[in-house]
A = this chain, B = another copy of it.
Amino acid sequence: MGENARRKQAVAAARKLGVDALLVTHLPDVRWLCGFTGSNAAVVVPVGSRFRPILVTDGRYTAQAKAEAAGLKVVIAPKSAAIAACEWMAQAGLKRCGFDEGNTTVAALKQMQAAVPAKLRRSMFQPVGALVSTLRWIKDADEIGKMRDAAALGCRLFDDIFEHIVPGATEAEVALALEYKAKLAGATEMSFPSIVASGPRSSLPHGRASSAKLPSRGFVTLDFGVVLDGYCSDMTRTVHLGKATAEEQRVYEAVLEAQETAVAAVRAGVTGGDVDEAARSVLRRAKLDKWFTHSTGHGVGLEIHEGPRLAAKQTQKLEAGMVVTIEPGVYIPGRFGVRIEDMVLVTKTGAEILTPSTKAWIQL
């Protein structure tokens, strides 16, 4: 099963760092390692074979933990799961535990240290960074299947939303229709608060749906995603209401060319910076690059924002199995903006677009 192979990867990475065990408390990492979906959890993955991995949670989740985390020993604790996990490690004689200092508060570390014998306090907890989260960047076959399903649902929602994109409807009404359809179709939630940014608000890169009414003329940017079976989708399309100006059309075409050029630049072995530059150079030639104020994309999976980053000067190489967004945009302050975004699967030879909804100019 997938989780077993994932734990082996984590053990191999932890062994290289010279720790006895990993303490994992970031919930997406917990889910990835053992399948548990509850809201309070800590997983201990021992590096040696003396102990089975354990999952600590509380009494609300006794049945669920045993069902979901079949390969693990389940420990039910009334207190903080991380603290109970530390006590368990100390009792088991483990002496060096890797933890993710980017997902552990200063206060939590202090409590963890207080939960082990005094002589271990200084040496027990070794920061190992986002070790598990980084392993999650590369998706296995099961995950790719789930991400395909989430992305496909996003596309169906886009195809089904046009009746709501009419002058006078509020942005919030459009977002609500999207979300209602998403949940009826099985999404547990949206990946993030939906962006519906119309008219001059389309010039806001993060224009969350507001009470603004869609204009009779102007762009409407829709940036949204669903969570389906734990995995996030993410896509953006920009459509136009009414007759467009030549400038609006020119900007749209430039953003589309930048987006398609960046998608074409994706394959295993290129860097995040290469892909960003592919998009940025198109907009530079069109003299629009100064309005492209964010990076080109990011990884996506159990979390809506994961690594790798696709941004200027990023030297991280893409690898087959990564799923990333490609989302250049141009935002002319106070006037209008355009963004086009796909979610793509990195392969050895290129990119497979998981969100194949049309990117052609749409005028409603």
Contacts and interface: CB of A to CB of B under 8 A. Distances in A.
Interface of A: 39, 59-60, 101-110, 127, 129, 172-173, 176, 179-180, 183-184, 186, 188-189, 193, 204-206, 211, 293-294
A335 B307 CA distance: 44
Contact of A109 (B106, B129, B176): B106
A189 B193 contact: yes
B107 A105 contact: no
A129 B176 CA distance: 38
A266 B295 CA distance: 52
A103 to B, nearest CB: 7
B59 A293 contact: yes
A294 B172 CA distance: 37
Contacts of A293: 59-60
Contacts of A211: 186
A362 to B, nearest CB: 26
Contacts of A179: 183
Given A59-B293, A106-B106, A176-B180, 7 more contacts: A102-B105, A102-B106, A102-B107, A104-B106, A107-B129, A173-B184, A176-B184
Contacts of A172: 183
A184 B180 CA distance: 11
Contacts of A110: 101
Nearest to A104: B106
Contacts of A105: 101-106
A99 to B, nearest CB: 8
A183 to B, nearest CB: 5
A106 B188 CA distance: 32
A204 B180 CA distance: 26
A109 B127 CA distance: 13
A204 to B, nearest CB: 8
The 7 closest A-B pairs by CB, nearest first: A101-B106, A102-B107, A101-B107, A176-B183, A104-B106, A106-B109, A60-B206
Nearest to A125: B106
A208 to B, nearest CB: 8
A111 to B, nearest CB: 10
A132 to B, nearest CB: 15
Contact of A180 (B107, B180, B205): B180
A363 to B, nearest CB: 28
29 contacts: A39-B206, A59-B293, A60-B204, A60-B205, A60-B206, A60-B293, A60-B294, A101-B105, A101-B106, A101-B110, A102-B105, A102-B106, A102-B107, A103-B105, A104-B105, A104-B106, A105-B105, A105-B106, A106-B106, A106-B109, A106-B127, A172-B183, A173-B184, A176-B180, A176-B183, A176-B184, A179-B183, A186-B211, A189-B193
A124 to B, nearest CB: 14
Contacts of A193: 188-189
A27 to B, nearest CB: 14
A163 to B, nearest CB: 17
A205 B58 CA distance: 12
A106 B26 CA distance: 14
Contacts of A108: 102
Contacts of A183: 172, 176, 179
